[in-house]
Amino acid sequence: MMQLQAGDFLLRPFVAADAPAFAAAIRESMSSVGKWMPWAHAEYTEEQALSWFAFCDASRAEGSAHEFGIFQRDGVTLVGGGGLNKLNTVNSSCNLGYWVRESAQRQGAAVAATVALARYAFLHLNQVRVEIVVADGNEPSAGVARKAGATHECLARNRLVLRDGPVAAHVFSLIPD
């Protein structure tokens, strides 16, 4: 199983045994993650987690996305998730996203995961541009992008669709050193 070291954290693909912790992490994080991630809801189930894990495995196999769980160094304690998706083979670019459960926020996991995922994109997926798109008003995620070294490029109108409809979003980018 592929694993990425991310400072004090470990990124690895989700396995079925992670489903209870994943569902609990989503449910605990509705006031933070739930506000910005339309897929997160207060009744998130283990079955939904398993469905997401299967989608992640299939996407990794076809090369269209590389999603990981963010874990404590022990590889067992779930902190959140992050990944690379929307891989554009013509322009060698992709999107990078992340979330951290409420009880583990502000401990460096998202920044460490972002740096590790960008490095993976550049070194192993031959990407020349990684974008991080953050809904306007989501200051914690914008702060993660900045701390990870991303450049703020613009505020794009109607760039994301949240529960209440389209919203403007900040576009950040990382490029290889």
The pLDDT of residue 1 is above 80: no
Q: What is the CATH number of the domain that holds 67?
A: 3.40.630.30
The pLDDT of residue 103 is above 90: yes
**What pLDDT is attached to residue 34?**
85
What count of other Cβ atoms lies within 10 Å of the Cβ of residue 8?
12
Contacts of 17 (CB under 8 A, 6+ apart): none
Contacts of 86 (CB under 8 A, 6+ apart): 65, 94, 95
Location of structure tokens 């914008």: 142
Which range of residues forms the domain containing residue 38?
4-174
Location of structure tokens 């070291």: 5
Structural domain tally of the chain?
Answer: 1
